[in-house]
Amino acid sequence: MATASVAFKSREDHRKQIELEEARKAGLAPAEVDEDGKEINPHIPQYMSSAPWYLNSEKPSLKHQRKWKSDPNYTKSWYDRGAKIFQAEKYRKGACQNCGAMTHTAKGCMDRPRKVGAKYTNKNIAPDEKIESFELDYDGKRDRWNGYDPSTYHRVIDLYEAKEDARKKYLKEQQLKKLEEKNNNEKGDEATSDGEEEEDDLRVDEAKVDESRQMDFAKVEKRVRTTGGGSTGTVRNLRIREDTAKYLLNLDVNSAHYDPKTRSMREDPLPDADPNDKFYLGDNQYRNSGQALEFKQLNIHSWEAFDKGQDMHMQAAPSQAELLYKSFQVAKEKLKSQTKDTIMDKYGNAATEDEIPMELLLGQSERQVEYDRAGRIIKGQEVILPKSKYEEDVHANNHTSVWGSYWKDHQWGYKCCQQIIRNSYCTGSAGIEAAEAALDLMKANIARKEASEESPKKVEEKRMASWGTDIPEDLELNEEALANALKKEDLSRREEKDERKRKYNVKYKNDVTPEEMEAYRMKRVHHEDPMRDFLG
């Protein structure tokens, strides 16, 4: 109900209102009409049909659900393409220097660049374009068909119809040409009877009739007012109406599932029945037989070829995909035949031999063979040593033994030259002697190095002079002066520890005697000495 009044109603009025709404929903009562005379759908919920109180709508209406506030500035019109408004006879100042139009400049001119512009020739002045500006709404900006003229689509239809007519005409001419050539070949000699000529003419006429029927068979007709809609690909219906529908073959609920939307039944509805008496075996039977299987193989080949980098797509170019698939099959069969011929040339063909051995023909012999419980031969047949798949007794690179005939230090090698490098050239006994000499030399060098490390050279410690350089060998220190320097060094260190005894006027001397330097060196703290904290 679309009434907007919310006045108080009695219980009886409320019951009558509900009954009226139910009658309208059931179609027993006419639908409610709005201000414009349009019927209101009775199934619309009340919260949608009821207008807000501030609109003060006295009559039922659905205007509050529509866009009732429209902007007058918005428009749905579009540009007038190719329209011209004025064409001048002389060049005007500020116009395009190329064509002479006032609506654009030379930079934005879409005409062909002239050798001499209209500014200098005053000839062939182009007309001014019609420039329009529209203010489109939200839908108008996003309408992809805005400005499209539907009347121009007839050109596309005419183009396709012309192509189809030309194709039909060409096919008809080709078929008639082939038929006439065939009839001319059948005539033979010139001395043919008139009756045979009449029969030939009749054949040509029959061929024309059959060909026209075939062309009509491919014609597309549209269905009108059907549930399926659209157009049918052909007029012919391939199913005979007298046949029993597939969903009526087995009425058991647990039988094969039937999909009414796609009209498909994949499984066999009568799996226990005699196959000779059944005409329908399920849709899967048709998918795995006939041309459906070939089509599936074609799709698989196109997918695999596309994954391997070929520009091939079954839906985009089906003819190309089918042609490539046929060429692939031809190449595959050719490769198979070549492989088969190669194997037959190498091993022979037992099927072509004239005489077949009796053992192979009968499959039995008088020879007695005894086996143990593990299946090994004990008596009656020589034990055949299994052969390796690798080439045996092949000596490469001048070797006289095979690879693996020599083993040393967990490595394989050649026994003839004792080399452990694969595919190396054989050096014989000279190489063995050279390798042993190199090994002896290496062992001697290692022993000499170890001996030099065990007895290292003693490095003489050099004494430093007072000024930091090496002490000369003829330097002699005065023992009495050294003792005084040591006492003086101890006294200065004690004064440094006690800040109260430090004097204000400190005098430094630049001349340092070797005894004083030796006393400083003996008394200074060695930070790398682990016993420095226990020294006085």
Instruction: Say yes or no: 86 and 169 in one domain.
Output: yes
The percent of residues above 70 in pLDDT, for the chain, comes to: 75
Give the model's pLDDT for residue 235. Answer: 45
Rg (CA), the chain: 56
d(CA 207, CA 215): 12
Residue 455 lies in a domain: no
Task: Write the DSSP string, 297-341.
Answer: HHHHHHHHHHHTT----TTT-HHHHHHHHHHHHHHHHHHHHHHHH
**Higher-confidence position of 351 and 346:** 346
Instruction: Say yes or no: 36 and 107 in one domain.
Output: no
Instruction: Say yes or no: 81 and 126 in one domain.
Output: yes
Of residues 506, 422, 419, 521, the one with CA closest to residue 465: 521
Of 404, 427, 450, the one marking the end of a domain is 450
- What total of structural domains would you count in the chain? 4
Give the model's pLDDT for residue 274. Answer: 87
CA end-to-end distance (rounded Å), the chain: 114
Residue 306 lies in a domain: yes
Give the model's pLDDT for residue 128. Answer: 94
d(CA 243, CA 249): 10
Instruction: Say yes or no: 132 and 103 in one domain.
Output: yes
Instruction: Say yes or no: 59 and 87 in one domain.
Output: no
Farthest-apart Cα atoms in the chain, separation:
164
Of 429, 450, 471, the one marking the end of a domain is 450
d(CA 456, CA 101): 103
Give the model's pLDDT for residue 114. Answer: 94
Model pLDDT for residues 10-40, shown as the tens digit of each residue: 899 999 999 999 999 998 999 998 888 889 9
**Higher-confidence position of 88 and 76:** 88
Task: Write the DSSP string, 236-250.
Answer: ---S-TTSPPGGGS-
pLDDT exceeds cutoff 80 at 423:
yes
Instruction: Say yes or no: 112 and 169 in one domain.
Output: yes
pLDDT exceeds cutoff 80 at 455:
no
**Higher-confidence position of 241 and 488:** 488
Residue 132 lies in a domain: yes
Model pLDDT for residues 479-532, shown as the tens digit of each residue: 888 888 888 888 877 766 666 666 666 565 667 788 888 888 787 777 777 776
Neighbours of 31 (CB within 10 A): 14
Distances (CA, A) of 532 to 104, 163, 268, 498, 523: 97, 111, 103, 21, 11
**Higher-confidence position of 141 and 206:** 141
**Higher-confidence position of 54 and 9:** 54
Average pLDDT estimate for 43-59: 85
Give the model's pLDDT for residue 217. Answer: 44
Model pLDDT for residues 103-143, shown as the tens digit of each residue: 999 999 999 999 999 999 999 999 999 988 888 888 888 88
d(CA 421, CA 411): 9
Residue 497 lies in a domain: no
Give the model's pLDDT for residue 462. Answer: 47
Instruction: Say yes or no: 48 and 118 in one domain.
Output: no
Is this structure's pTM higher than 0.95? no
Query: Is residue 17 a contact partner of residue 1, using CB atoms and an 8 Å limit?
Result: yes
The two three-digit tokens of residue 351, written as one number: 């099927």
d(CA 133, CA 482): 111
Instruction: Say yes or no: 58 and 84 in one domain.
Output: no
Instruction: Say yes or no: 400 and 446 in one domain.
Output: yes
d(CA 516, CA 7): 123
Domain that holds residue 83: 75-173
Residue 217 lies in a domain: no
The percent of residues above 90 in pLDDT, for the chain, comes to: 23
Among 152-156, 361-365, 436-440, the minimum mean pLDDT is found in: 361-365
Average pLDDT estimate for 356-371: 70
Of 407, 423, 450, the one marking the end of a domain is 450
Instruction: Say yes or no: 104 and 142 in one domain.
Output: yes
Give the model's pLDDT for residue 224. Answer: 44
Give the model's pLDDT for residue 15. Answer: 92
Instruction: Say yes or no: 47 and 119 in one domain.
Output: no
Residue 431 lies in a domain: yes
Residue 527 lies in a domain: no
Average pLDDT estimate for 177-188: 85
d(CA 436, CA 343): 50
Average pLDDT estimate for 143-165: 91
The two three-digit tokens of residue 365, written as one number: 């012999």
Give the model's pLDDT for residue 200. Answer: 55
Give the model's pLDDT for residue 193. Answer: 54
Residue 442 lies in a domain: yes
Instruction: Say yes or no: 81 and 16 in one domain.
Output: no
